[in-house]
Amino acid sequence: MHGLMMDTPLTITTILRHAERVNAASEIVSVTADAPRHRCTYADVFRRARQLANALTAAGVRPGDRVATLAWNDYRHLELYYAVSCMGAVLHTLNPRLFAEQITYIFNHGGARILFADQTLLPLVEILRPGLPALERLVVLGPDYEAFIAGQPDRYDWPELDEREASSLCYTSGTTGHPKGVLYNHRATLLHSYGSTLVDTLALSRRDSVLAVVPMFHANAWGLPYSVPMVGGKLVFPGPKMGDGATLAALIAEEQVTIAAGVPTVWQLLLNYAREHDLVFHSLERILVGGSACPLSIMNEFRDRHGVWCVHAWGMTEMTPLGTANAKPPGYDALSPVAQDAFRVRQGRPAFGVEMKIVDDAGRELPWDGASAGLLKVRGPWVCRDYYHTGEPSAAHAEPGWFATGDVANIAPDGTLQITDRAKDVIKSGGEWISSIDLENIAAGHPDLLQAAVIGVPHPKWDERPLLIAVPRPGATPTREGVLGWLEGRIAKWWTPDDVVFVEKIPLTATGKISKVELRQQFRDYRLPA
């Protein structure tokens, strides 16, 4: 038909072109093994990405090939993000915190022949190498990488790609079976970047200085390597120091960070550091927190001590990853403190593009009344349609056109979501569900507790009862009775944990979340008090 719009493909290359042209001078600051504070601009990164694309071509990488990375967040990893995807190949990011057997499986399943690895991770690469028979070329991110791209022309004509072509690959580790690959394409990545810059999602702007603590191997650092260049903000990368409070605090102060993104455990660590060193983060406006439910105690400390709003967001690797985000609603400031708290523990409203519904065990849709909890299903242009080459039908995609998230949630009439559990973590007591996330949130608010986790343990009468596992704050000596007394009146009586166990440390997963699997393992011989 005549008179229609141009059919420009929605590719990552369009972000690259735009960012290079209009945001050329925006800065990228990285901590790397060879430079404590490396500084460059988008213009530098995209020029080097062209050299890298030439070097990859010379190394035999062709469109559709997978290129693997085992790397922290820094400018070289960003160059790989753009060079690999925009030349038509597929960037396969590996999580170095997984068990060696899992990384081996993921690398081999992805099928890359070339691996870019951070120099701090070379000992790990040595362990992995005998199990990676297809690996032909290892490039170490440091002088080796510089030699790899040196002498390559900085001209490279990015091909016109089809927006539905694959751009990157990331595996999500299920609790059973092998990790599963999620294959992103250009279109999903671009639309996700639009969706995540919106004011009521992450509200990213050119004025922002964005500290991406969430790793580039965890759901593409929540899309920040694309969305921030799209708007022209400054990118701040902590490199191998993402778990180091001193480095994070210094980056925030010195780089005038306005928004920082990561999982709750990172923020707990940073808050502890700030408290111990009497720091206040003046430049910081927002914390983007997701990956697991953020306890109110973390959000309160950010608000009260640092004047920071926590954007509580929910998403999944399978969703590129943004699902919902809780921007301040209209009338928020006039709400009572209790109503404000009730709002902030929710994960917010869906970004435009994400449709959701909750269903009961029989698949019947449940009302959006803020109370009925059911299995959460989603669909949209950046939700995965299937897993990458598993060779078997995906149970999560059993209902055509929908993806079953495995999360249990309720949805308020205005579309505000609250995740109450992972389906497999839910505690079923006498046939009724107890939300482990709610219990954890409330328990973590106890002044003497640093962290709290709740698991279900077998019970002869009720099938399962909640067990609270808690880490005391340094110097504090909370008691079982004290904690249970504190919960009284804050939760339904029948939700009261049957026991409280104090531990020094709660095990974390490779993406920094509380590992319920490991906790259940640790407490498998535990018997409730009679």
Q: Which is nearer to ligand AMP, 203 or 396 (CB)?
A: 396
Out of 31, 149, 419, 514, name the contact with ligand AMP by CB under 6 A. 419
Catalytic residue among 318, 320, 382, 405: 318
Taking the complex as a whole, the smallest distance from the CB of residue 168 to ligand AMP amounts, in Å, to 14
The amino acid present at 233, given as its one-letter code, is: G
> CB of 354 within 8 A of CB of 380?
yes
- The two structure tokens encoding residue 147: 């030699």
Out of 255, 285, 301, 407, name the contact with ligand AMP by CB under 6 A. 407
d(CA 441, CA 310): 15
Task: Give 428-480 as a DSSP string.
Answer: EETTEEE-HHHHHHHHHTSTTEEEEEEEEEEETTTEEEEEEEEEEPTT----H
CB atoms within 10 A of CB 426: 18
Determine the interface stretch with ligand AMP among 200-208, 240-248, 311-319, 447-455 (rule: CB under 6 A): 311-319
Q: Is 152 in the site for ligand AMP (CB under 6 A)?
A: no
- Residue 128, phi then psi, degrees to nearest 5: -75, -30
Out of 51, 167, 172, 515, name the contact with ligand AMP by CB under 6 A. 172
- The two structure tokens encoding residue 393: 């039908």
- What residues from 104 to 143 belong to the interface with ligand AMP (CB under 6 A)? none
**Residue 357, strand partner residues:** 377
Q: Is 30 in the site for ligand AMP (CB under 6 A)?
A: no
**Residue 235, strand partner residues:** 28, 210
- Is residue 433 among the annotated active site residues? yes
Determine the interface stretch with ligand AMP among 26-34, 160-168, 288-296, 360-368 (rule: CB under 6 A): 288-296
- Is residue 318 among the annotated active site residues? yes
Out of 347, 416, 436, 441, name the contact with ligand AMP by CB under 6 A. 347
Q: Is 511 in the site for ligand AMP (CB under 6 A)?
A: yes
> CB of 177 within 8 A of CB of 186?
no
Q: Is 291 in the site for ligand AMP (CB under 6 A)?
A: yes
Q: Is 436 in the site for ligand AMP (CB under 6 A)?
A: no
Question: Which residue has the closest beta carbon to ligand AMP?
Answer: 317
Q: Which is nearer to ligand AMP, 175 or 479 (CB)?
A: 175
Taking the complex as a whole, the smallest distance from the CB of residue 101 to ligand AMP amounts, in Å, to 19
Q: Which has the closest alpha carbon to 186: 80, 82, 314?
A: 82
Rg (CA), the chain: 23
Q: Is 28 in the site for ligand AMP (CB under 6 A)?
A: no
Out of 152, 292, 435, 515, name the contact with ligand AMP by CB under 6 A. 292
Q: Where are the alpha helices (DSSP H) in 255-329?
A: 264-276, 296-306
d(CA 322, CA 317): 9
Q: Is 33 in the site for ligand AMP (CB under 6 A)?
A: no
- The two structure tokens encoding residue 346: 């929710």
* Total length of the chain: 530
Q: Is 316 in the site for ligand AMP (CB under 6 A)?
A: yes
Contacts to ligand AMP by CB under 6 A: 172, 219, 290-293, 312-317, 321, 347, 405-407, 419, 422, 511
Active site residues: 172, 318, 428, 433
